[in-house]
């Protein structure tokens, strides 16, 4: 098949998933293109994916250069030039809408649109009044619609009153890169435990809870914390770490050249978000044999098996996470068992071979005209008084 991807090339999980899926499909013999205003940092030179840069021209009349139109134009160009079958849009805003526009532009040539919902495109951005109608329209008009967790699929139907739920295709991880071999062993007596948090440090990640949990753990065990990523809450986390007297034990790193290596160096990965549709960084850590302490909310319980591969506590319950984390870290046998179980469960449930064929099957169905049922008769909840969102 011939597929073109569009995604956010920045640090978020949706761009990573799109890039890894594009790479996996190219390896499986498909012709794969990816269009974005910047090369996604995870798109490796040997990926087999053709990257197309979207240029965004400046013009004095434009107060805000219309990136989305340049992207739609580029997608249409690629579809025509390479006779593309599928435009796969990752993250509803703006990629699903730009894909629909490109589909319309190339007519009578037929290209199908598959949209993958990642989370905040539904729960935060898409639910804003300024984007709600466009997001709903894009979902209804896509030929195929997927969500990365059961939780997100249900949340989408609830907020947007869709006639049918998106198909759930969980995220996956390349277990050749994210593997446990060479991981840090259980620390020798007196050596510190390494605790990790990796995210784009937005408010939804509750980075202050990460610092507070670390403070509680290091009261009872020698430990150090790495906060990997950039984002608006970084300053707050730095201030809190200083206030709690943790400066020497907390390292902030914007990026890492070797993300799997960082994951392998950690003994516990913290993801204490308010909600997380899936939690890709939890999955990547698990693949490296690093147990996760996560929030018992959103899609995280679909990724972390409580007591088997990680620990779950209600959102904001710092004391619960501290208690469970300390119990685990103090017990070498249990930590080693959980580390092994994490890596092996990920291979079994979230490996490339398990998940990528689900997308191929969806593309086949969509091309055969068996895409999602487009019953658009159900009215937009925003048109009715008291509509639920
Ligand atoms: O929240 C982020 O880290 C970024 C965001 C994105 O779209 O780039 O992540 C969302 O998509 C990821 C990939 O599917 C999921 O693993 C994350 O759970 C999801 N984030 C949230 O739901 C908050």
> Cβ distance 306 to 313 under 8 Å?
no
17 lines ligand 1 (CB under 6 A): yes
Q: How many CA atoms lie within 13 A of 193 on its CB side?
A: 25
12 lines ligand 1 (CB under 6 A): yes
Tell me the pLDDT tens digit for each residue of 238-261.
Answer: 999 999 999 899 999 998 999 999
Between strands 310-313 and 292-295, the pairing is parallel
Cα–ligand 1 centroid distance for 10 (angstroms): 12
119 lines ligand 1 (CB under 6 A): yes
Is the pLDDT assigned to residue 386 strictly greater than 80? Answer: no
Tell me the pLDDT tens digit for each residue of 64-106.
Answer: 999 999 999 999 999 999 999 999 999 999 999 999 999 999 9
The DSSP code sequence of 102-158 is: HHHHTTTS--EEEEEE-SHHHHTSTTSTTTHHHHHHHHHH-SEEEESSHHHHHHHHH
Proportion of the chain above pLDDT 90, given as a percent: 93
pTM above 0.75, yes or no: yes
31 lines ligand 1 (CB under 6 A): no
381 pLDDT band, cuts 50/70/90, is confident
9 lines ligand 1 (CB under 6 A): no
Q: For ligand 1, what atom is nearest to the CA of residue 200?
A: 3
Protein residue with its CA nearest to atom 8 in ligand 1: 12
Is the pLDDT assigned to residue 377 strictly greater than 60? Answer: no
204 lines ligand 1 (CB under 6 A): yes
12 pLDDT band, cuts 50/70/90, is confident
Q: For ligand 1, what atom is nearest to the CA of residue 8?
A: 8
What's phi and psi for 96, nearest 5 deg? -70, -40
Tell me the pLDDT tens digit for each residue of 229-238.
Answer: 999 999 999 9
191: left (phi over 0), alpha (psi -120 to 50) or beta: beta
Which residues are bridge partners to 340 per DSSP? none
| Cα 321 from Cα 259, distance rounded (Å) | 24
Integer CA distances (angstroms), 317 to 193, 211, 285, in order: 22, 13, 22
Cα–ligand 1 centroid distance for 145 (angstroms): 17
Residue-averaged pLDDT of the chain: 95
> Cβ distance 183 to 290 under 8 Å?
yes
Cα–ligand 1 centroid distance for 81 (angstroms): 32
Question: Residues of 184-199 as b/e, b for ≥16 C-beta within 10 angstroms?
Answer: beebeeeeebbbbbbb
40 lines ligand 1 (CB under 6 A): no
Helix (H) or strand (E) holding 253: strand 250-253
């Amino acid at each position: 098949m011939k597929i073109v991807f569009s995604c956010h090339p920045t640090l978020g999980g949706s761009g990573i998933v799109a890039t890894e899926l594009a790479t996996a499909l190219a390896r499986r013999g498909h012709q794969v293109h990816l269009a974005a205003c910047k090369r996604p940092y995870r798109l490796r030179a040997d990926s087999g994916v053709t990257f197309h840069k979207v240029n965004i021209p400046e013009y004095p009349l434009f107060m805000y250069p219309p990136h989305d139109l340049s992207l739609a134009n580029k997608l249409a160009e690629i579809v025509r030039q390479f006779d593309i079958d599928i435009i796969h849009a990752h993250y509803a805003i703006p990629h699903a809408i730009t894909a629909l526009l490109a589909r319309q532009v190339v007519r009578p040539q037929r290209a199908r649109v598959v949209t993958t919902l990642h989370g905040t495109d539904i729960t935060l951005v898409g639910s804003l009044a300024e984007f709600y109608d466009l997001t709903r329209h894009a979902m209804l008009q896509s030929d195929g619609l997927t969500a990365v967790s059961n939780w997100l699929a249900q949340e989408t139907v609830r907020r947007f009153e869709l006639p049918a739920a998106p198909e759930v295709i969980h995220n996956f991880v390349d277990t050749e890169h994210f593997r446990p071999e060479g991981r840090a062993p259980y620390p020798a007596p007196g050596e510190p435990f390494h605790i990790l948090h990796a995210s784009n440090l937005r408010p939804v990640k509750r980075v202050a809870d990460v610092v507070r949990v670390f403070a509680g753990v290091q009261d009872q065990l020698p430990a150090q914390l790495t906060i990997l990523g950039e984002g608006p809450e970084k300053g707050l986390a730095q201030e809190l770490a200083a206030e709690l007297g943790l400066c020497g034990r907390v390292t902030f790193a914007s990026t890492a050249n070797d993300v799997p290596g960082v994951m392998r160096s950690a003994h516990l990965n913290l993801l204490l978000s308010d909600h997380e549709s899936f939690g890709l960084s939890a999955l990547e850590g698990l693949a490296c044999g690093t147990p996760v302490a996560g929030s018992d909310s959103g899609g995280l319980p679909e990724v972390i098996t409580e007591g088997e591969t990680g620990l779950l506590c209600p959102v904001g319950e710092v004391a619960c996470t501290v208690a469970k984390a300390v119990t685990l870290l103090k017990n070498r046998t249990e930590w080693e068992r959980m580390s092994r179980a994490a890596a092996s469960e990920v291979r079994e449930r979230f490996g490339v071979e398990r998940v990528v064929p689900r997308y191929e099957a969806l593309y086949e169905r969509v091309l055969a005209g068996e895409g999602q049922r487009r019953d658009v008769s159900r009215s937009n909840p925003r048109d009715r008084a008291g509509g639920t969102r």
